[in-house]
Structure 1
Amino acid sequence: MSRSTVGALALTALLLPLVAACVDNDPGAGASSGALTVSSTADACTVSSATAESGTLTFQVTNDGSDVTEFYLLGEDGLRVISEVENIGPGITRDLVVQVRPGTYFTACKPGMVGDGLRAKFTVTDSGKDVGPTGDVAEQLTAAEAQYVAYVKDQVGALIAGTQEFADAYTAGDDEQARALYAATRVHWERVEPVAESFGDLDPLTDAREADLEDGQTWSGWHYIEKDLWPPAPADNGGEEYVPLTPAERTKAADDLVGWTQDLVDQVNDPQFTFEAFQISNGAKELLDEVATGKVTGEEEIWSHTDLWDFAANVDGARVAYEVLADVVEDKDPDLAATLLERFAALDALLAAQGSVETGFTSYDELTEQQVKELSTAVDALSEPLSELTAVVTGA
């Protein structure tokens, strides 16, 4: 999940054209032709130009600071997430390719990946050219978008039903049942997490880890309840004895979780909701990044150790995102299509050796170092070609 908080996101964010790939480059690489360069440091976010013409833009973001950073393109209200690239380590350069129409935007760097970031106004003028695909490709992508939206609606429908059942068990004090429902319900969130993240503060309210909290931030959501269901020993809790939530605190935590989940369901089912092909392809890569930065490390489900459910769900979501776009990819780059299918299959086989969403997975803390390494290697092997997906889809 995105580890930053932004304000509430209007549905119109999804009506804006979005994103393409986040591509790793060699540290210190020079700017590609036509790219806007971005230098992120502890106290500056320097973009080479504050204006650009509409169409496909590339932001080449270099972390010239000492903390991991993120780069965002935000809508006119400064809240809507148009596109983002996360986890840029010191000395590393990553590209963010976006397709944007004329309008006012904001650029933002977030050194340390916290807070509102270092922002500046960014203006896109009218190039006089169409933005986005045309012809047969446009028809293929329209069909892909419809398929993906149907998938998202199905997943959030299952999510709200499971969340309500989970919340009922938790507030009733049936911890055994709540623990049994926890991971199986969360897979529906993890499969479509890029959609949830696009709605601004729904993601941090619902899915923030304790380690992600900023000073003074109130913790809530799945992992807040997770800790209460799998209470840590003092040695794992900063030396302090864990104090269980009171019945009233449990009820509030559960009601909040259900309410925010229903908010997601309502926005996804709004007749105006859409998710463009560029968002879909970018989201596939984001889901693999989620696996690499949270699930493989065992940091996502630090109390329950149910990381493999999340891991598998992220891979499921990435695969579906690719599959709805596969016709376009197969036409434009059959070698990439073949590579992606091969590497999805390899990763699936490693996960299947540890269980399944339906039957349950090995607890993550029971995996050997070698098993974790094999999973990590397979994720990296898939992530590299997946980073090319948006460029192929957009024709960038």
Structure 2
Amino acid sequence: MPTSPMPRVLRATSLVAVAGLVITGCSQNKVDSAPPGAAKVAIELTDDGCRPTPAEVPAGPVTFEVKNNNASKVSEAELMNNDVILGEKENLSPGLSGTFSLRLNAGKYTVYCPNAATQKTDFTVTGAAAQASQDPAVKTALDQAVTGYQQYVIAEVDKLVPATKQFTDAIRAGDVERAKQGYAPARYYYEEVEPVAESFGDLDPAIDQRADDVTDQSKWTGFHRLEKALWEEKSVDGMAPVADQLDADVAKLKTLVATAAYQPAQLANGATELLNEVANRKITGEEDRYSHADLSDFDANITGSKKAFDLLRPALSKLDPDLAESVAGKYADVLAALQPYKRDNGYVDYSTVGDEQRKALTQKVDALAEPLSQVSGKVNA
């Protein structure tokens, strides 16, 4: 998500019927979200690879239209600058499509499709970008949004560091119950800013990878390895090194976000990706499969997504007031739908939430996904 960093692919594995409803809405943009004058690049996901068409565009606003026709091994495309992910569309199962927008300077980039036979393809941007043709008031509002988001990410990661240490201290002390109590509160700060964390190469997998995505279980680290120890294995014996590594990775994240820069479209892309996090992993119960703390993560994803949108809203209200109003109202609907599940300072165990209730949450997320997907194009002109 930063201009000098952005996400990694992860898959839903349960409640397929419910998940399918959400993935259709969140991953598939239903309107042309490209800003006027933006270059359009088509990327078709195939198991062989995913070549961009065209492979060269002029500098300026670019909208990437990603579609999976029938790839079974590939479900995402990322645009990378060296090792930094600038933008992506992920969780596209066969038949689904989606877009993301960026303003690109001249240079060499890479389109990366994990798990394809040819995973990386060159992409070139040429010439000098014309000045954005925005109303000065819009430009000022967008500049303020970017500055505000930088401050927000730094502040949330500053909270993440001590909250994680409280959690890992309990792990090192062998205090299972205290560690369980600290798990969801620590993760909350991470889940708010996950698209930024995902941008820094392998840092997000180190912090947040699930068992399905690890080929060598002896090298599995992060929150979910500790979650399994606490709730399934009911012992943290031997987990001190994992706790130490989590502290180190969170500290690294703090260092990286201190100098990260963003562009307005990345705020909007990140808001959409956080919504996709809810759709593809929280609704299904796949994310926190041992602790069933999914609703806390759900809340954090929506909160982080809404923060990015709220910062963009003053500019978006000038560019498209109807869209700004629609998105704001649908965020309120999603947050209201979560209220019945709140208990004290947390949420009910997600395993107690039935399929019909999950479906109702799905519908609220789906209703937000479509208009939200249009925002990056609006602010990228």
Give the TM-score category using the shorter length: 0.7 to 0.9
| Whole-angstrom distance in 2 between the partners of 1:222 and 1:190 | 11
Cα gap change, 1:389 to 1:117, in 2 (>3 Å): farther
Structure 1 counterpart of 2:225, one-letter code: Y
Shift of 1:324: 0.7
2:108 to 104, 110, 116: 104
Gap runs ≥5 in structure 1: 5-20, 27-31, 232-241
Task: Name 2:71's counterpart in structure 1.
Answer: 66
Residues in 2 aligned to 1:187 and 1:104: alpha-carbon distance in whole angstroms: 36
* 2:355 paired with 1:350: no
1:152-231 to 2 correspondences below 5 Å? 152-214=153-215, 218-231=219-232
1:303, CA displacement in angstroms?
Answer: 0.2
* Cα shift at 1:33: 9.1
Deviation at 1:22, TM superposition (A): 7.3
Q: Which moved more, 1:158-167 or 1:132-141?
A: 132-141
Question: 2:14 maps to what in 1?
Answer: none
Aligned amino acid, residue 184 of structure 1: P
Aligned partner of 1:119: which letter?
K
Q: Which residue of 2 aligns with 1:88?
A: 92
What TM-score, normalized to structure 1?
A: 0.83
Q: Deviations 1:168-213 (Å, cap 9, x if unpaired)? A: 1111011100000100111000011111111111100000011122
* Aligned equivalent of 1:40: 45
Partner of 2:367: 381
2:293 to 297, 302, 306: 306
CA distance in 2, matches of 1:335, 1:134: 18
2:250 is the counterpart of 1:261: yes
- Residues 63 and 101, structure 2, Cα contact 8 Å, conserved in 1: yes
Q: Distance in 2 between matches of 1:131 and 1:119?
A: 30
After TM superposition, the structure 1 = structure 2 runs for residues 272-291 of structure 1, keeping only pairs within 5 Å, are 272-291=259-278
Is contact 1:132-1:394 (8 Å) kept? no
For 2:210 and 2:99, the matched residues in 1 are separated by 27
Secondary structure of 2:48's match? coil
1:122 corresponds in structure 2 to 123
Q: Which consecutive residues of structure 2, in runs of 5 or more, have no partner in the other structure?
A: 1-6, 11-25, 32-36
Judged with a 3 Å threshold, the aligned counterparts in structure 2 of structure 1 residues 337 and 34 are, in CA distance, closer, same or farther, namely: closer
Match of 1:317 among 304, 316, 325: 304
State how far apart, in whole Å, the 2-side matches of 1:100 and 1:33 are. 11
- Aligned 1:124-139 pairs, distance under 5 A: 124-127=125-128, 129-130=130-131, 135-139=136-140
Q: Give 1:34 shift.
A: 5.1
1:66 and 1:215 mapped to 2: Cα distance? 25
In structure 2, do the counterparts of structure 1 residues 171 and 83 end up closer, same or farther at CA, with 3 Å as the change threshold? same
Q: Report the more deviating stretch, 364-373 or 296-305.
A: 364-373
Given that residues 106 and 119 in structure 1 are in contact (C-alpha distance below 8 angstroms), is that contact kept between their aligned partners in structure 2?
yes
Contact 1:22/1:96 (<8 A) preserved: no
Shift in Å at residue 268 of structure 1?
1.8
Q: Shift in Å at residue 69 of structure 1?
A: 1.3
Asked whether the 8 Å contact 1:22–1:282 carries over to 2, the reply is: no
Partner of 1:359: 345
Question: How far apart are the structure 2 equivalents of 1:192 and 1:179?
Answer: 22
Q: Does 1:148 align with 2:169?
A: no
- For residues 128 and 244 of structure 1, the distance between their equivalents in structure 2, rounded to whole angstroms, comes to 56
User: Are the structure 2 counterparts of residues 123 and 132 from structure 1 closer, same or farther at C-alpha, using a change threshold of 3 Å?
Assistant: farther
**Structure 1 pair 350–25 and aligned structure 2 pair: CA distance change class (3 A):** closer
Do the aligned partners of 1:100 and 1:131 also contact (CA within 8 Å) in 2? no
Say whether the 8 Å CA contact 1:167–1:255 is kept in structure 2.
yes
Q: Following the alignment from structure 1 to structure 2, what is the Cα–Cα distance between the partners of residues 109 and 34? A: 21
Q: Is the alpha carbon distance of 1:108 and 1:97 closer, same or farther for their aligned partners in structure 2, counting shifts above 3 Å?
A: same
Change (3 A) 1:216 1:300: closer
Distance 1:187 1:115 in 2: 33
Counterpart amino acid of 1:45?
C
What is the CA RMSD across the aligned residues, in angstroms?
2.4
Please tell me whether residue 328 in structure 1 is matched to residue 322 in structure 2.
no
- Higher relative contact order (Cα pairs below 8 Å, separated by 6+ residues): 2
User: What is the total number of aligned residue pairs between the two structures?
Assistant: 354
- Contact between 1:23 and 1:388, CA under 8 Å: does it hold in 2? no
- Could you tell me whether the CA contact under 8 Å between 2:65 and 2:97 is conserved in 1? yes
After TM superposition, the structure 1 stretch with the greater mean CA deviation from structure 2, 59-68 or 329-338, is 59-68
Q: 2:136 and 2:378 mapped to 1: Cα distance?
A: 16
Q: Identify the range of structure 1 (187-196 vs 46-55) with the bigger mean alpha-carbon deviation.
A: 46-55
